[in-house]
Structures are given as C-alpha cells and as structure tokens.
C-alpha cells in the first residue's frame, strides 16, 4: 500500500487541443469552464504547481451573452497610471467595439491564480477568435459542445 500522493512531472504532461464555440454562450459559465481546462483541473492527475492544462481555442467570441442586465450595468474599470486616470466602459461598449474578445479574455484571466508565473503561462495557451474559423487545424483539436453540457450555458436572446 502506497501512502504518498502521485505528483505529475512537467515532462509527463500530454496536452490536448480543444475548440469551443462561444456563440450565445453565457460569459461567466464559459470562462469558468475554460479556466478549469487551462489549469488542468479536469484531469485525475492534476498537480497545482505544474502546467498540466490543455490548449483552448475559442471561436465566435464576439457573440457571447450576458444574463440579466449585465450588458448595460456591468462596468469594466482600469487606471491609466496618471492622477485621476480611472477609466470605465460598459460591457455593451466593449462587445460593440474594436476588441470584443477582451470580455472573455479578462473573465478567464481573473479566474486563474493571481499574479503568478504559472497563470501567465497558462493564459498563453488560450486562443480567442471573433470569427468561426481558426488556424489551428494542424493540431487536430477536439471539438467540445459547450452548449450541450448544460441548458443554462446558452442564452437565446
């Protein structure tokens, strides 16, 4: 009988590529699912200090949905670094702007461990595209039907 916990080594990790279609997906639920896959928490041999997550490709990121009144009421803040430089923008303006994929990117980033080299490395394994196509066909990614996992994962309006 072994009384030790098996710890995964970085050389033993086999990373997969997965594709998720974000069309009509609820932002928070999708970000939570992506963060779990990036960290590797879906694996039975998960090790917290090892990058054992998958590569995640998200398509149609500009077609994500919010529940309730978050589209108009949710405010994203940032600071320019200058005195009085606090800026704000609503989720509606970001989705209608030049870089709508940042909504999903920030949601996933804020669900990973804070300010750690491991979290920064895991964020590099996330690829987000606003169109329905991606240039990662050579990696033979597995398509995950996020909408079919739970009926609450998708919003129709």
Structure confidence by residue, pLDDT tens digits, 68-122: 999 999 999 999 999 999 999 999 999 999 999 999 999 999 999 988 999 999 9
Angle at 78 between CA 75 and CA 80, to 5 degrees: 145
| 136-150 residue pLDDT tens | 999 999 999 999 999
The pLDDT value given to residue 7: 86
The pLDDT value given to residue 115: 85
Given a contact cutoff of 8 angstroms between Cβ atoms, the answer to whether 52 and 13 are in contact is yes
Given a contact cutoff of 8 angstroms between Cβ atoms, the answer to whether 103 and 94 are in contact is yes
The pLDDT value given to residue 131: 93
Asked if pLDDT for residue 128 goes beyond 90, the answer is: yes
For residue 1, the tally of other CB atoms under 10 A from its CB is: 2
Q: List phi, psi (to 5°) of 103.
A: -60, -50
Helix axes 102-109, 27-39, angle to 10 degrees: 50
The pLDDT value given to residue 6: 79
Enter the DSSP assignment of 154: B
Alpha carbon 43 to chain centroid distance?
A: 17
Question: With a threshold of 0.75, does the pTM exceed it?
Answer: yes
| Percent of the chain's residues with pLDDT above 70 | 99
Tokens (6 digits) for 5 = 């916990």
| Residue 5 pLDDT class (50, 70, 90 cuts) | confident
**Rounded CA separation 122/35 (Å):** 9
**Rounded CA separation 145/10 (Å):** 29
Q: Are strands 86-90 and 126-128 parallel, antiparallel or unpaired?
A: unpaired
Alpha helices for the chain (secondary structure H): 27-39, 70-73, 91-95, 102-109, 117-123, 146-149
């Amino acid at each position: 009988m072994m009384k030790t916990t098996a710890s995964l080594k970085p050389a033993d990790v086999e990373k997969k590529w997965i594709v998720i279609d974000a069309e009509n997906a609820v932002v928070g639920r999708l970000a939570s699912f992506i963060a779990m896959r990036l960290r590797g928490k879906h694996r039975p041999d998960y090790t917290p200090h090892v990058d054992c997550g998958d590569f995640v490709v998200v398509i149609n990121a500009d077609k994500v949905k919010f529940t309730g009144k978050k589209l108009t009421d949710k405010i994203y803040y940032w600071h320019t670094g200058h005195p009085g430089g606090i800026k704000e923008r609503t989720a509606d303006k970001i989705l209608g702007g030049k870089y709508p994929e940042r909504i999903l990117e920030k949601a996933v980033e804020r669900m990973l461990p804070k300010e750690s080299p491991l979290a920064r490395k895991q964020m590099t394994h996330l690829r987000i595209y606003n169109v329905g196509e991606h240039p990662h066909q050579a990696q033979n990614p597995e398509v995950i039907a996020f909408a079919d996992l739970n009926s609450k994962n998708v919003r129709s309006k």
